Structure 1
């Protein structure tokens, strides 16, 4: 575990590596805060309709303007990826699976709704569904290399299957375990020089040039240097879920900060600034009331936990310019078979309340392109699947699924693309 001195050294290393870093950072900080003031007002006034929405059948024919909107906002709803009745049937089968295996791990313990299950038949079928693979392949294609970059071993058209869990959330109650946060790397964003290079334009005073879809610095980055359980060690181009029930705003849906350029720029520079003394008595939103400071080991929004760090987890107190209470935006209403996607850097959360009358049910299925490191993970994940145990990125405290009734087997994945995504050999006719 790194020491506080080490964290301060990370800041110093960054400052020393960029000529005139303080001046450039101060200038950028003021510009970003000014742009956030305008963007958060637009987001607040628009609400869920601010989120881009497209039909699965339209993906290959979207206008350049719509693609640019998805890239800038960093999220999208893709509708009708799977037939409604298929998605609803998967939910029913998952409920039956849980009933048949009452000792599965999940929380809350006395009313399980989020399940530590990875290898049920519906999950395996959904990941291998041709339309899901086509959607994740399209999302991967929003990314690109840069001139001269070695893309050996990279195929954005080839989707891989990263196993995750599912939830069947009941109406009522409070979920407080998923406040605004960013996955896909914590302190690694600043500490790992390769990962850090993804944000070079931000750190070097050219934040407007930041391209959140540039593969440079992503495909060989160390996303999990400290091997914290439940932290993805691979590159997911987008996180995502498939709806198995109707879900509307206030019904326990996903919320996002829908401006990936501004959120990345703000979060990456935030550790280098602190509010001036007596900030409670001044206008904390005014850039002039913030001071450049690299003497502290603090990285605002990162919290130490067992095995590493959580975060970034922006809060209204630590990240006031994001206006999280107003700008975190709920996904528009979706139906079974619709999918929701958000960029791997995106600030996202889950609504604390579920005020609806029915379950809010989703399967978590990200977009994961073929890269050398991702393929290495898939090979290890395949061993876990064949043994019926939890995947490599997840804690070994959960029960193995090989003793559960209804756990999927390799023969349950029949399509060539589905088997390829899991690292399985193709079936011989």
Structure 2
């Protein structure tokens, strides 16, 4: 699937009017409560936007891998509010250099591998190169993932059988080797890990109960209970993750930074969640009360339309949220989307599964911006079942379950094999000690 050729349809089915009515009927005094919350969220967005713009990339937290278990509570609180973090020096320079070199060799040795853009491929639909297999199994990568997973918590009294935040699993994803001077249009601001499912699936929706109750400040993006059984892929759309990733992430294979094709964030996951979840229930008034179109007084509660701004019909399912200046103007994305700070090869960047993120359109650096996508995945019953199926595709050298099918990788030169994983933690993360029922 070439993202340059994707056509998104903003016309959503009329049954989504019933979905809005169902949601409104599920919460006491819904209209009054969310209207008050909407006004408060818009006021806070205006203040937060100014702070984000003023701080720039400095607002993105950075920590050393060796310090993860000794961070101060206020550092952890900042990471959780921002919803993103750079972890420095996860993997040594020499090892990362070997992985980057091996990927360059792999791509040259297998010129027909799927990727885009044509003819100068830079984003590769590949999952089982030896470098990717080794990176996912690296003890420090897995320890970083475990630490990230443990930012989540279970409410007191909850009994979530089969959940282990301290034991990470490995989710096979792709890699990119972006070349300087090539503009990308394919990764505008978006949120992964579920589209219309955030509202349509009742379990997923429960993650946002405090927002829909009007108590948006009490929303906890790190409450695990609603996450582990949420159905993030109701329609089986190719490329839609069906597992729960606490954070998405990548491992840098080269130095990169602002204006060099790096990732960008809206660095306040609590606030963006509140706004994104409430947005479908509010529309601009036909006649404006004040001169400022973003003024809360110019917006009204309205559940009469099926539209969920930023959600689009796509390949028999739905994609998004993809907020933009028209659909979500209060995010002020032109100003607030903030580039990750400079990173070196071996550093990792993680971002919360709900966080609005994008990729810089321009790469004005002088060398490749190369990363492997490696998210943080905890052990849960749903995730464990996925890893069993993923393990089979690894052994066969075929496409992992969540992704559009491509030619089997087993025929390529330089593919990774199960015996390449020698560490016990890496084997467990790939499911080689999971017993099939």
> TM-score scaled to structure 1, two decimals?
0.97
Are the aligned partners of 1:284 and 1:320 in contact in 2 as well (CA < 8 Å)?
no
Say which SS state the counterpart of residue 334 (structure 2) adopts: helix
The 1:87/1:270 distance shift into structure 2, 3 A limit, reads same
User: In 1, Cα distance between the equivalents of 2:289 and 2:397?
Assistant: 53
**Structure 2 match to 1:25:** 34
Are the aligned partners of 1:229 and 1:307 in contact in 2 as well (CA < 8 Å)?
no
User: In 1, Cα distance between the equivalents of 2:172 and 2:179?
Assistant: 23
**Structure 2 match to 1:237:** 246
363, 374, 381: which is aligned to 1:372? 381
Say which SS state the counterpart of residue 402 (structure 1) adopts: helix
Is 1:57 the counterpart of 2:66? The answer is: yes
User: In 2, Cα distance between the equivalents of 1:115 and 1:281?
Assistant: 49
Is 1:260 the counterpart of 2:292? The answer is: no
**Structure 2 match to 1:89:** 98
Matches within 5 A, 1:336-351: 336-351=345-360
RMSD: 1.4
**Structure 2 match to 1:416:** 424
The 1:204/1:327 distance shift into structure 2, 3 A limit, reads same
Across the two proteins, how many residue pairs are aligned to each other? 425
User: In 1, Cα distance between the equivalents of 2:123 and 2:21?
Assistant: 41
* Alpha-carbon shift at residue 352 of structure 1 (Å): 0.3
Is 1:170 the counterpart of 2:179? The answer is: yes
Matches within 5 A, 1:168-317: 168-277=177-286, 282-317=291-326
**Structure 2 match to 1:406:** 414
Say which SS state the counterpart of residue 14 (structure 2) adopts: helix
**Structure 2 match to 1:106:** 115
> TM-score scaled to structure 2, two decimals?
0.95
**Structure 2 match to 1:395:** 404
User: In 1, Cα distance between the equivalents of 2:109 and 2:40?
Assistant: 57
User: In 1, Cα distance between the equivalents of 2:92 and 2:420?
Assistant: 20
User: In 1, Cα distance between the equivalents of 2:291 and 2:309?
Assistant: 20
The 1:314/1:280 distance shift into structure 2, 3 A limit, reads farther
Question: Deviation string for 1:78-136 (max 9, x for gaps)?
Answer: 00000112112211100101111111001012000000100000000000000000000
Are the aligned partners of 2:12 and 2:307 in contact in 1 as well (CA < 8 Å)?
no
Say which SS state the counterpart of residue 296 (structure 1) adopts: coil
Are the aligned partners of 2:289 and 2:298 in contact in 1 as well (CA < 8 Å)?
no
Say which SS state the counterpart of residue 94 (structure 2) adopts: helix
The 1:279/1:227 distance shift into structure 2, 3 A limit, reads farther
Question: Deviation string for 1:182-208 (max 9, x for gaps)?
Answer: 000000000000000000000001100
Are the aligned partners of 2:114 and 2:126 in contact in 1 as well (CA < 8 Å)?
yes
User: In 2, Cα distance between the equivalents of 1:372 and 1:52?
Assistant: 31
* Alpha-carbon shift at residue 150 of structure 1 (Å): 2.3
**Structure 2 match to 1:146:** 155
Are the aligned partners of 2:233 and 2:241 in contact in 1 as well (CA < 8 Å)?
yes
The 1:281/1:65 distance shift into structure 2, 3 A limit, reads closer
Question: Deviation string for 1:303-356 (max 9, x for gaps)?
Answer: 111131110011011111111000000000000000100000000000000000
Say which SS state the counterpart of residue 411 (structure 2) adopts: coil
User: In 1, Cα distance between the equivalents of 2:432 and 2:82?
Assistant: 35
The 1:108/1:17 distance shift into structure 2, 3 A limit, reads same
**Structure 1 match to 2:5:** none
Are the aligned partners of 1:252 and 1:360 in contact in 2 as well (CA < 8 Å)?
yes
**Structure 1 match to 2:328:** 319
Unaligned 5+ residue runs, structure 2? 1-10
Are the aligned partners of 1:105 and 1:115 in contact in 2 as well (CA < 8 Å)?
yes
Is 1:334 the counterpart of 2:351? The answer is: no
* Alpha-carbon shift at residue 279 of structure 1 (Å): 5.7
Is 1:35 the counterpart of 2:27? The answer is: no
**Structure 2 match to 1:133:** 142
4, 15, 26: which is aligned to 2:13? 4
Say which SS state the counterpart of residue 119 (structure 1) adopts: coil
User: In 1, Cα distance between the equivalents of 2:416 and 2:207?
Assistant: 38
Say which SS state the counterpart of residue 163 (structure 1) adopts: coil
Are the aligned partners of 1:242 and 1:365 in contact in 2 as well (CA < 8 Å)?
yes
Are the aligned partners of 2:290 and 2:298 in contact in 1 as well (CA < 8 Å)?
no
User: In 1, Cα distance between the equivalents of 2:143 and 2:370?
Assistant: 22
Unaligned 5+ residue runs, structure 1? none
